[in-house]
Amino acid sequence: MKIVINNVEKRFVDTKKREVTALQNINFTIEEQEFVVLVGPSGCGKSTLLNIVGGLLSPSSGEVYFEGLTSGKEPRLGIVFQEIALFPWRTVYENVVFGLEEQGASKQEQREKGQHFIDLVGLTGFESAYPKQLSGGMRQRAGIARALAVEPDLLLMDEPFSALDAQTRTLMQEELLSIWDRTRLSTLYVTHNIQEAVYLADRVIVLSRHPGQIKEVIQIDLPRMGRDQEQHRAAFERYADEIWQLIRHDAQEALKEG
């Protein structure tokens, strides 16, 4: 189904009781099976926008709706945050099936789906492990499996790999693409990393500095898999440079503000 973000605006009241516009005139769609990435300078409202799309925040004006969703039915959402929000007292398996428990799924359905998605993210054999026994990359895989297990209409990912070391991050990006290729979930992904955006996205939406507005939408016309291969390197770098030139001035201004 198509997800429509229609004329969304978000305003806050700051600590000095001044009204601040965080997002303004946000209009875009996420097509079925499309991977959309949000990039922009610090403070442009990327995470705020993702939280609005996910229903965790309400827009001050505008709307988000799922085209084709049965009337009265709530969309199923899978969310993966930067902070790995696994329950430390639950095993990998118990964490993965948590959303299914909340949905009232039968024990058999929990077992089947839980094991399927544990296998899918490469955690077979770690079902009984606790989060403290896992590496950062493995914990994030468990978080992804939990988000996938509810078979969401939309997968939301807010800088899920930013806390990982460079090597693990690269491996997790490859793993995510492999998982996406098998599930084809509509996905909205937030990152500060331009190379990550080009590597993952069908489209990159570049946001301006506050108030966050859509500065440019860039279609990444590269094969879905294997973008890091030598034959695509020149095109990959052109996309990355185009995005950087759009962000550069705003990023410099954000840095001055601290």
Q: What is the pLDDT of residues 50-86, one digit of tens each?
A: 999 999 999 999 999 999 887 778 899 999 988 778 9
Q: Residue 223 — very low, low, confident or very high, per pLDDT cuts 50/70/90?
A: very high
**% of the chain at pLDDT higher than 70:** 99
φ and ψ at residue 64, rounded to 5 degrees: -125, 125
131 pLDDT higher than 80: yes
Q: Out of 80-84, 124-128, 233-237, which region has the weakest mean confidence (pLDDT)? A: 80-84
